[in-house]
């Protein structure tokens, strides 16, 4: 009986909330992000594309809609994160090349790679814990997707700060 009830509830959920325009979310995020000249300005962009998504999507303010919009923004931040990582890595390698006569100090790229590799399981565990703390409650989806969005954004901004330090 519980499975039947769940199926009926899911079928009654507005399908439009599941039809998130991912390209629009990334475009909105990138427009905000690219316009910023400071790290605080970049931080102000966190969550803005998800809110726009919620406004523009039928059912966007439902629990499911909020979660899908946050997930879409989290994926957008992941795109920006990968760009920031590549840029920071290029700067790190450049700094290492400049210190090649003293290789014990030419460790920027190595330590940046290690940091990013350690960060990924940290992010996953952090957001799994955020999701789990809500148990069976419907807030778990919003909490988990919000954590992923926030954590990806913060790491993206951290990588830009490291890029600035490596230049």
Is 8 inside a domain boundary? no
Q: Tell me, what's the pLDDT at 103? A: 83
Q: Tell me, what's the pLDDT at 152? A: 98
Q: Tell me, what's the pLDDT at 58? A: 92
Is 113 inside a domain boundary? yes
Pair 39, 46: CB distance under 8 Å: no
What is each CA distance from 64 to 16, 76, 84, 142, in whole angstroms? 10, 18, 30, 8
Is 13 inside a domain boundary? no
Is 69 inside a domain boundary? yes
Structural domain boundaries, residue 128: 21-166
Domain count, the chain: 1
Is 132 inside a domain boundary? yes
Alpha helices of the chain — where are they, by DSSP H?
Answer: 2-12, 22-34, 39-44, 48-56, 63-98, 108-132, 139-166
Is 128 inside a domain boundary? yes
Is 11 inside a domain boundary? no
Is 4 inside a domain boundary? no
* pTM of the full structure: 0.86
* Local confidence pLDDT in tens for the 167 residues of the chain: 444 333 333 434 444 445 788 999 999 999 999 999 999 999 999 999 999 999 999 999 999 999 999 999 999 999 999 999 999 999 999 999 998 888 888 899 999 999 999 999 999 999 999 999 999 999 999 999 999 999 999 999 999 999 999 88
How many other C-beta atoms can be found within 10 angstroms of the C-beta atom of residue 150?
20
Q: CA 102, CA 30: separation in Å to the nearest integer? A: 39
Q: CA 135, CA 144: separation in Å to the nearest integer? A: 11
Q: CA 97, CA 117: separation in Å to the nearest integer? A: 22
């Amino acid at each position: 009986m519980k499975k039947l009830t769940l199926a009926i509830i899911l079928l009654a959920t507005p399908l439009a909330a599941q039809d998130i325009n991912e390209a629009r979310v990334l475009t909105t995020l990138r427009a905000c992000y690219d316009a910023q000249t400071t790290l605080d300005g970049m931080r102000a962009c966190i969550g803005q594309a998800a809110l726009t998504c919620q406004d523009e999507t039928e059912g966007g303010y439902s629990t499911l809609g909020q979660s899908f919009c946050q997930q879409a923004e989290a994926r957008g931040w992941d795109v920006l994160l990968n760009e920031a990582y590549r840029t920071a890595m290029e700067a790190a390698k450049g700094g290492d090349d400049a210190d090649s006569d003293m290789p014990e100090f030419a460790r920027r790229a190595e330590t940046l790679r290690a940091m990013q590799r350690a960060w990924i399981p940290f992010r996953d565990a952090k957001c799994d814990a955020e999701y789990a703390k809500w148990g069976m409650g419907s807030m778990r989806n919003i909490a988990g997707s919000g954590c992923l969005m926030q954590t990806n954004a913060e790491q993206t901004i951290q990588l830009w700060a490291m890029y600035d330090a490596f230049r």
